[in-house]
Structure 1
Amino acid sequence: MNATFTRRRVPAVLAAVALAVSFGALAPQASADDGGAPFGPGCASVPEQGAGSFAGMAEDPVATAASNNPALSTLAAAVEKAGLVDTLDNAEDITVFAPTNDAFAKIPKADLDKVLADKATLTEILTYHVVDEPVEKADLADGSFETLQGDMLTTTGSGDTYKVNDTASVVCGDVQTSNATVHIIDTVLMPK
């Protein structure tokens, strides 16, 4: 792990823990000056305590952390169905653009069931949400990143408002797990 990333990650994790403990939840949005603290309107729905809280997620690798967060249960089930739990939990310094349950609910049920039943397609879609490098808030303003699936995804925005591929909004960004930065998004991304 490089020293620059470690210096950025430790304050982010500590800030997330301090905010969760101090306020009980992140009901007000963290500001752009919080230096790596989780940000966005969806952060208020992260549990205050336990394994799915910011503090709990910081202790677990990303697939395990997602499985403990109630807003990411559909993603966690899809990752398990695709056989990607160990791959994601054993990776280092990755970024996951994690669709919420509501993001998956936007997909018609018949289409979602079909994708969930097709491991190859499911794996392709899920790995399109993963970047093999840390992508933090500062990188989201005008970014282009190669995904594990092989295609590129782009990010744009400023302040606390960011888009991925001009379709998904980051609803809670810069959430840290023990091995990843997670940006929770409101739409499932589809590779080309």
Structure 2
Amino acid sequence: MRFTGMRTARAAGAALVTVPLALGGLASQSHAQGASPSPSGTFGSGCSAIAQKADTAKDKLVEAASAYPQLSQLVAATVRAKLTSTLDEKPDVTVFAPNDKAFQGITVSQLSSLLSNEGQLKKTLTYHVVDKQITPDELSHGSFTTVEGSKLTTSGSGTDFKVNDKANIVCGNIKAANATIYIIDQVLQPPS
């Protein structure tokens, strides 16, 4: 139990250092892991490029996300917004998790503004979270209320899905103890 907390703290601390570098280049992503596209397993064109340190099915959400180097910016933002306990204590959630490349799509000024405004950061991050576990079968024509309070939609078929008709799910149906994670390639903005 203590090791898990220390691993999260170290991963979160390391990720906080990298937040200002969100627009920098990504490190090479070796250690690829294959995935079979099926409703019961992970799927998506980006799953083979997802480097994972360990099995995350028994880890709470933030600990599970910190196991994926491609989610370091999201983990850092979650820590900065003081949402770690909130998300880890929810029993069943789905997270549409922007990868580090998604954060690179935000301008330096937008990212700086977002990170310096805790209220807006919380609003943006909780817009990526739905308070129920969403299965791949529900993604074809989904409409879900987020923890932030607004709706987001999903569409697609097979192993190709979009969120809000913009963000692609690059790897989906990743399991954590209290969550299902769908990695996306854009940071979603809650409606004004």
What TM-score do the two structures reach when normalised by structure 2? 0.80
Structure 1 vs Structure 2 CA RMSD = 1.2
Equivalent-residue separation in structure 2 for 1:35 and 1:118 (angstroms) = 38
Equivalent-residue separation in structure 1 for 2:51 and 2:58 (angstroms) = 15
Equivalent-residue separation in structure 1 for 2:65 and 2:116 (angstroms) = 21
The answer for the alignment partner of 2:124 in structure 1 is: 125
Runs of 4+ that moved beyond 4 A = none
1:46, CA displacement in angstroms? 2.2
1:64, CA displacement in angstroms? 1.3
Equivalent-residue separation in structure 1 for 2:151 and 2:113 (angstroms) = 25
The answer for the alignment partner of 1:25 in structure 2 is: 33
The answer for the alignment partner of 1:90 in structure 2 is: 89
1:44, CA displacement in angstroms? 0.9
Residues 109-148 of structure 1 aligned to structure 2 (within 5 Å) = 109-148=108-147
Equivalent-residue separation in structure 2 for 1:118 and 1:129 (angstroms) = 17
Per-residue deviation, residues 118-169 of structure 1 (Å, max 9, x unmatched): 0000000000000001111100000000000000000000000000000100
The answer for the alignment partner of 2:161 in structure 1 is: 162
User: Identity over the aligned pairs, expressed in percent?
Assistant: 43
Q: How many residues align?
A: 160
Gaps of 5+ in 2: 1-31
Equivalent-residue separation in structure 2 for 1:109 and 1:146 (angstroms) = 29
Equivalent-residue separation in structure 1 for 2:85 and 2:126 (angstroms) = 13
Match of 2:43 among 39, 46, 55: 39
The answer for the alignment partner of 1:107 in structure 2 is: 106
Equivalent-residue separation in structure 2 for 1:25 and 1:73 (angstroms) = 18
Whichever structure has more helix as a proportion of its residues is: 1
Letter in 2 for 1:116: L
